[in-house]
């Protein structure tokens, strides 16, 4: 096996030499061609110069006999000679200039995102040959380890020691080459890096052989040796390049997996990983290689996940310290420096704060893993301590550096997650339970968040992120705590929460009155309004929470208009999306099915008030960009009001999607069809939201069509025994007639593209046909239109008479308006009526009456054809006559 390996290596080097030789031979041949071309150019130029001299000499005049006039003649004649020579050899000069001027080589056009080209010559003649040598050395070290196992020439201990000495010799050789590179005429550091890499990998292999195969080393000692080798490799990266750091980092993080001490000590494991990580981060920062940072962070997170899986409640201190160390190593050390002495107070825009940087990724992943550990090992005291530690770190970091202004929001989210996962038992019969357990935690968290927000507002008024934080902290903490409260347990908590909310509102109103800055005054007023709204929401019912949010939008718009302060548009957009989402989903939720306000169904109160608040907000909002949003929300709420109330008034309940009844289905399909038309109509007046409206309208139209297919085809009242109502006014108007009118509105107002009109006409024809037949059938079957009930002769004749009147009326109306398609439809209907009259209505006739009926049918069809030709335009009639 060894002979085959070295034979392969020799052939590989031989192949590389041949490739280099071929490349050099091609370059030499190319140079010879260039020299030959230059020689031809020189010969051509020499010939052209000789011709030029000869032409000048032939045109020169004979010299004068007097010596005095010679200079004058030469002076007067010389310029014409130059001009003539220039004119004679102009073509030659242009040819020479074209031949002398080298043409620039054509550069191939590369795509903007083209991959780098692989150049074997540059790879082998450059640094690639060194890394190939390092690979061969590493393979040699590995095979030396293998030889130490298979060969029996020397004792195992001696073979392992020799292998380790070989690895150390390679590292020492790398150091010697680096120190005496001038004497050795070494011009690149990659030789030393290649030697050191081979030595490190060889030493790793020898330690693993000693531990796993020969059992010379105990687990603890093998762990230490491997860690030392990995850290030495990381240190050697400072001298020989970052590749060694990568090898060392991989080896250092792999040591706990390769060598298990069996102690299951999570604290010791995390301490070792933290030591490796701080070394790796320091080296990555020193050599300025981002890939080393990411490599270290991935390894760090892998062992963090391992600690979460293997750890339990007793490892809380170790996991918490490891979380703090992670934030320090991978985030704070880069922004605040290793001594945490760097500061910045200039505000950053929202895009910069939310930009996906590696520090933000590290922060989110670290806090997420910490929260996962606390959820897997839920202990109330641990969650409280963890939330306080995270809050302290985030607040202190944001206080020193404005790039971390988003960290207090992360602390708020972390506190909410901890509160939701706190399973502390609460005695709701105890009157003091709002001041114990997780409810006390909410109050302390709200107090800390608001105090820190006010502190930052007073300290750095230009950092507006804390204005929003001041409003969100009490609103989210008190709101979430009240929503998660069990039913019928709020009699004690509500007065306490209401008192604290009113106290916050009073303080905020007082601060607004004393504030001189418009934006701060608006923020304090919004905070006061939010607390009052939340207090009223708790008092009334869950459905009023939507009104609270809509009231916030209206108050922010009014305060912005009054104090001439423009708040960010995204605040309004988020609030409006929440309002629309809640009002769109709430009617179908079980919690709101029997919700009432003042003994009135909640939709009759909430929807009109929400419409009034949106109108008020649109009137006073100073942003012109938001006019489209307010208009869209207003139209959507109007459509929701119409659809929900019609369903509630007609059916008495909102549809249950798991078990739709006949009445619920047809009302819901009609409502969605109307709402789709509203969306299509609204899309014509906006450019930014045009695509969104079209997608929403198409979804609603498709859903309406599916319900129509279900209740008009598979569960049609023509097939199933379904009572559709009275004789004239019944459910068929909603099922088939109203959709026909809606679809006609789609065409009339051009809500859809013209090439869809044909399909809409087909759908209108089918629905209209079913409606008329259904109405006729209800007159004879007491509200049932099932075909299995049979049919009387009077009903048969009624179909013929009604469709005869409809077809005739359609023909004359279409002729009056010159509508060719309707004329064709009318004549087709007329022909079908006549055919039905003779084939079905008179099917019981026999003998002479049957013959007369067919004769009458033929004459009627001929008359229909003549009437059809008579009513056609003359030009069309003449053309058809010529063709016949």
246-259 mean pLDDT:
64
Residue 760 within any structural domain of the chain = yes
Q: Is 845 exposed, middle or buried (0-12, 13-18, 19+ CB in 10 A)?
A: middle
Do 539 and 577 form a contact (C-beta atoms < 8 A)? Answer: no
- pLDDT bin (cut points 50, 70, 90) of residue 736 is very high
Most trustworthy range by pLDDT among 191-200, 592-601, 831-840: 831-840
pLDDT attached to residue 473: 94
Rounded CA-CA distance 383/404 in Å is 23
323-329 mean pLDDT:
92
Strand, helix or coil for residue 401: strand
Nearest Cα residue to 371 out of 351, 352, 389: 389
133-137, 471-475, 822-826, range with the lowest pLDDT: 133-137
Most trustworthy range by pLDDT among 206-210, 437-441, 875-879: 437-441
**Residues 751, 809 within the same domain:** no
Do 565 and 522 form a contact (C-beta atoms < 8 A)? Answer: yes
* 551 has pLDDT over 80: yes
Q: Which residue has the higher pLDDT, 658 or 705?
A: 705
Give the structural domain span for 666: 655-681+694-790
783 phi-psi bin (left φ>0, alpha ψ -120 to 50, beta other): left
If you average pLDDT over every residue of the chain, what do you get? 75
* 687 has pLDDT over 60: yes
Percent of the chain with pLDDT strictly greater than 90: 15
Do 174 and 210 form a contact (C-beta atoms < 8 A)? Answer: no
* 459 has pLDDT over 50: yes
Q: Which residue has the higher pLDDT, 449 or 179?
A: 449
**Residues 749, 673 within the same domain:** yes
Nearest Cα residue to 465 out of 620, 564, 352, 362: 352
**Residues 676, 775 within the same domain:** yes
Residue 135 within any structural domain of the chain = no
Q: Which residues are bridge partners to 201 per DSSP?
A: none
- pLDDT bin (cut points 50, 70, 90) of residue 622 is confident
**pLDDT tens, residue by residue, 573-583:** 888 888 888 88
**pLDDT tens, residue by residue, 552-574:** 888 888 888 888 887 888 888 88
Most trustworthy range by pLDDT among 23-32, 415-424, 850-859: 415-424
**Residues 782, 664 within the same domain:** yes
Most trustworthy range by pLDDT among 79-83, 96-100, 318-322: 318-322
pLDDT attached to residue 674: 87
Q: Which residues are bridge partners to 725 per DSSP?
A: 730
* 370 has pLDDT over 90: yes
Q: Residue 104's CB: how many other CB atoms inside 10 A?
A: 6
* 126 has pLDDT over 50: no
Domain count, the chain: 2
Q: Is 564 exposed, middle or buried (0-12, 13-18, 19+ CB in 10 A)?
A: exposed
**Residues 752, 817 within the same domain:** no
Q: Which two tokens stand for residue 750?
A: 């051009």
Last residue of a domain, one of 760, 790, 820: 790
**Residues 760, 839 within the same domain:** no
Last residue of a domain, one of 738, 764, 790: 790
**Residues 865, 823 within the same domain:** yes
Helix axes 316-327, 380-400, angle to 10 degrees: 10
pLDDT attached to residue 115: 35
Q: Which two tokens stand for residue 721?
A: 């025994």
**Residues 760, 859 within the same domain:** no
Do 809 and 757 form a contact (C-beta atoms < 8 A)? Answer: no
Q: Which helix (H) or strand (E) holds 191?
A: helix 190-208
pLDDT attached to residue 83: 40
Q: Which residues are bridge partners to 723 per DSSP?
A: 784
Name every residue whose Cβ is closer than 8 Å to that of residue 137 and which is 6 or more positions away in sequence.
170, 194, 195, 197, 198, 199, 202
- pLDDT bin (cut points 50, 70, 90) of residue 152 is low
With vertex at residue 62, the alpha carbon angle to CA 61 and CA 63, rounded to the nearest 5 degrees, is 115
* 879 has pLDDT over 50: no
Q: Which two tokens stand for residue 546?
A: 């939507």
Rounded CA-CA distance 140/146 in Å is 10
227-236, 433-442, 460-469, 504-513, range with the lowest pLDDT: 227-236
C-alpha radius of gyration, the chain, whole number: 45
Do 801 and 775 form a contact (C-beta atoms < 8 A)? Answer: no
Last residue of a domain, one of 764, 790, 816: 790
* 527 has pLDDT over 80: yes
Q: Which two tokens stand for residue 503?
A: 């106290």
Name every residue whose Cβ is closer than 8 Å to that of residue 125 and which is 6 or more positions away in sequence.
20
Residue 365 within any structural domain of the chain = no
- pLDDT bin (cut points 50, 70, 90) of residue 122 is very low
Rounded CA-CA distance 390/414 in Å is 8
Helix axes 190-208, 242-258, angle to 10 degrees: 10
Residue with tokens 């009242």: 717
Rounded CA-CA distance 177/192 in Å is 6
Cβ-count burial 872-881 (b if 16+ within 10 Å, e if not) = beeeeeeeee
Do 785 and 718 form a contact (C-beta atoms < 8 A)? Answer: yes
Cβ-count burial 498-529 (b if 16+ within 10 Å, e if not) = bebbeebbebbbebbeebeeebbbbbbbbbbb
Rounded CA-CA distance 150/153 in Å is 9
Helix axes 793-816, 820-836, angle to 10 degrees: 160
Q: Residue 292's CB: how many other CB atoms inside 10 A?
A: 24
Residue with tokens 């005095």: 68
pTM, 2 dp: 0.56
Q: CA-CA distances (angstroms) from residue 89 to 40, 80, 93?
A: 20, 14, 6
Rounded CA-CA distance 316/266 in Å is 10
Residue 292 within any structural domain of the chain = no
183-192, 308-317, 645-654, 678-687, range with the lowest pLDDT: 183-192
- pLDDT bin (cut points 50, 70, 90) of residue 450 is very high
- pLDDT bin (cut points 50, 70, 90) of residue 688 is confident
375-384, 652-661, 743-752, range with the lowest pLDDT: 652-661
Rounded CA-CA distance 817/62 in Å is 105
83-91 mean pLDDT:
41
Q: Which two tokens stand for residue 458?
A: 């007073």
Rounded CA-CA distance 80/76 in Å is 8
**Residues 723, 784 within the same domain:** yes
**Residues 660, 785 within the same domain:** yes
- pLDDT bin (cut points 50, 70, 90) of residue 22 is very low
* 255 has pLDDT over 80: no
pLDDT attached to residue 855: 65
Q: Which residue has the higher pLDDT, 244 or 615?
A: 615
832-854 mean pLDDT:
67
Residue 175 within any structural domain of the chain = no
Print the SS3 string covering 458-505. Answer: HHCCCCCHHHHHHHHHHHHHHHHHHHCCCCCCHHHHHHHHHHHHHHHH
Residue 608 within any structural domain of the chain = no
Do 774 and 798 form a contact (C-beta atoms < 8 A)? Answer: no
Do 391 and 437 form a contact (C-beta atoms < 8 A)? Answer: no
Residue 349 within any structural domain of the chain = no
Do 607 and 583 form a contact (C-beta atoms < 8 A)? Answer: yes
**pLDDT tens, residue by residue, 200-241:** 766 776 776 676 666 777 767 766 776 677 667 666 666 666
Q: Residue 773's CB: how many other CB atoms inside 10 A?
A: 17
Rounded CA-CA distance 504/510 in Å is 10
238-252, 617-631, 689-703, range with the lowest pLDDT: 238-252
**Residues 665, 753 within the same domain:** yes
DSSP 737-800: IHHHHHHHHHHHTT-S-GGGHHHHHHHHHHHHHHHHHHHHHHHHHTTB--GGG---HHHHHHHH
* 474 has pLDDT over 90: yes
Residue 819 within any structural domain of the chain = yes
DSSP 176-189: HHHHTTTTTT---T
Taking CB atoms within 8 Å and a gap of at least 24, the contacts of 720-725 are 720/786, 721/784, 721/786, 721/788, 722/662, 722/784, 722/786, 723/783, 723/784, 724/774, 724/778, 724/783, 724/784, 724/785, 725/778, 725/783
**Residues 671, 781 within the same domain:** yes
Q: Which residue has the higher pLDDT, 733 or 357?
A: 733
């Amino acid at each position: 096996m060894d002979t085959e390996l070295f034979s392969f290596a020799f052939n590989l080097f031989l192949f590389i030499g041949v490739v280099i030789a071929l490349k050099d031979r091609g370059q030499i041949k190319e140079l010879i061609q260039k020299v030959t071309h230059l020689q031809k150019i020189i010969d051509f130029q020499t010939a052209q110069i000789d011709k030029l001299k000869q032409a000048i000499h032939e045109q020169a005049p004979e010299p004068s006999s007097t010596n005095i006039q010679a200079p004058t003649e030469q002076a007067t004649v010389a310029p014409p000679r130059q001009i003539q020579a220039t004119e004679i050899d102009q073509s030659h000069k242009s040819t020479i200039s074209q031949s002398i001027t080298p043409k620039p080589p054509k550069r191939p056009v590369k795509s903007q995102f083209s991959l780098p080209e692989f150049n074997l010559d540059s790879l082998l003649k450059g640094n690639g040959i060194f890394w190939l040598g390092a690979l061969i050395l590493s393979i040699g070290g590995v095979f030396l380890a293998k030889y130490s196992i298979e060969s029996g020439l020397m004792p195992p201990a001696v073979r392992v020691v020799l292998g380790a000495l070989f690895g150390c010799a390679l590292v020492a050789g790398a150091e010697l080459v680096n120190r005496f590179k001038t004497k050795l005429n070494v011009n690149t550091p990659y030789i030393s890096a290649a030697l050191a890499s081979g030595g490190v990998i060889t030493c790793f292999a020898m330690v693993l052989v000693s531990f796993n195969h020969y059992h010379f080393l105990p687990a603890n000692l093998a762990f230490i040796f491997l860690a030392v080798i990995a850290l030495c490799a990381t240190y050697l990266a400072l001298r020989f390049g970052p590749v060694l750091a990568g090898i060392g980092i991989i080896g250092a993080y792999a040591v706990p997996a390769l060598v298990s001490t069996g102690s299951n000590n999570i604290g010791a494991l995390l301490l070792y990983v933290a030591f490796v990580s701080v070394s790796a981060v320091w080296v990555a920062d020193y050599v300025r290689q981002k890939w080393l940072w990411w490599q270290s962070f991935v390894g760090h997170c892998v062992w963090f996940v391992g600690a979460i899986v293997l750890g339990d409640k007793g490892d809380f201190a170790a996991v918490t310290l490891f979380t703090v160390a992670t934030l320090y190593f991978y985030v704070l050390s880069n922004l605040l420096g290793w001594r945490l002495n760097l500061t910045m107070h200039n505000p950053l825009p929202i895009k910069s704060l939310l930009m996906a940087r590696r520090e933000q990724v590290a922060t989110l992943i670290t806090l997420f893993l910490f929260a996962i550990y606390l959820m897997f090992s839920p202990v109330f005291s641990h969650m409280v301590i963890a939330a306080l530690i995270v809050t302290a770190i985030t607040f202190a970091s944001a206080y020193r550096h404005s790039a971390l202004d988003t960290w207090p929001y992360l602390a708020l989210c972390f506190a909410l997650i901890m509160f939701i996962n706190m399973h502390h038992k609460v005695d709701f019969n105890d009157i003091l339970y709002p001041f114990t357990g997780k409810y006390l935690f909410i109050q302390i968290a709200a107090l800390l968040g608001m105090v820190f927000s006010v502190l930052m507002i007073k300290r750095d008024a230009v950092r507006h992120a804390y204005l929003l934080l001041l409003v969100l902290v009490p609103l989210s903490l008190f709101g979430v705590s009240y929503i998660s409260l069990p039913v019928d347990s709020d009699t004690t908590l509500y007065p306490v929460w209401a008192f604290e909310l009113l106290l916050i509102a009073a303080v905020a109103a007082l601060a607004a009155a004393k504030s001189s800055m418009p934006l701060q005054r608006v923020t304090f007023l919004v905070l006061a309004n939010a607390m009052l709204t939340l207090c009223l929401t708790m008092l009334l019912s869950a459905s009023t929470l939507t009104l609270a949010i809509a009231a916030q939008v209206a108050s922010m718009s009014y305060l912005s208009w009054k104090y001439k302060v423009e708040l960010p548009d995204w605040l309004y957009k988020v609030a409006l999306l929440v309002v629309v989402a809640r009002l769109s989903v709430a009617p179908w939720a079980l919690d709101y099915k029997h919700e009432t306000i003042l003994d009135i169904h909640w939709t009759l109160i909430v929807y009109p008030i929400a419409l009034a608040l949106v109108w008020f907000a649109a009137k006073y909002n100073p942003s012109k960009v938001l006019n489209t949003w307010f208009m869209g929300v207003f139209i959507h709420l109007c459509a929701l009001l119409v659809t929900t109330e019609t369903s509630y008034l007609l059916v008495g309940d909102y549809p249950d999607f798991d078990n739709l009844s006949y009445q619920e289905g047809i009302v819901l399909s009609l409502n969605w069809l109307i709402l789709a038309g509203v969306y299509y109509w609204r899309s014509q007046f906006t450019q930014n939201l045009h695509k969104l409206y079209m997608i929403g309208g198409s979804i609603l139209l498709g859903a309406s069509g599916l319900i129509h297919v279900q209740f008009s085809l598979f569960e049609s009242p023509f097939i199933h025994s379904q009572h559709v109502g009275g004789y004239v006014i019944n459910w068929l108007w909603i099922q088939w007639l109203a959709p026909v009118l809606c679809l006609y509105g789609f065409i009339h107002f051009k809500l859809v593209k013209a090439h869809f009109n044909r399909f809409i006409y087909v759908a209108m024809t089918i629905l209209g046909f079913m409606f008329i037949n259904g109405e006729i059938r209800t007159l004879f079957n007491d509200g049932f239109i099932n075909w299995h009930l049979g049919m009387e002769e009077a009903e048969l004749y009624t179909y013929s008479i009604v469709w005869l009147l409809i077809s005739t009326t359609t023909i004359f109306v279409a002729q009056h308006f010159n509508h060719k398609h309707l004329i064709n439809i009318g004549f087709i209907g007329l022909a079908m009526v006549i055919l039905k009259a003779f084939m079905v209505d008179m099917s019981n006739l026999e003998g002479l009456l049957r013959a007369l009926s067919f004769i009458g049918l033929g004459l009627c069809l001929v008359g229909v054809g003549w009437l059809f030709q008579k009513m056609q335009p003359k030009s069309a009639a003449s053309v058809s006559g010529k063709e016949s």
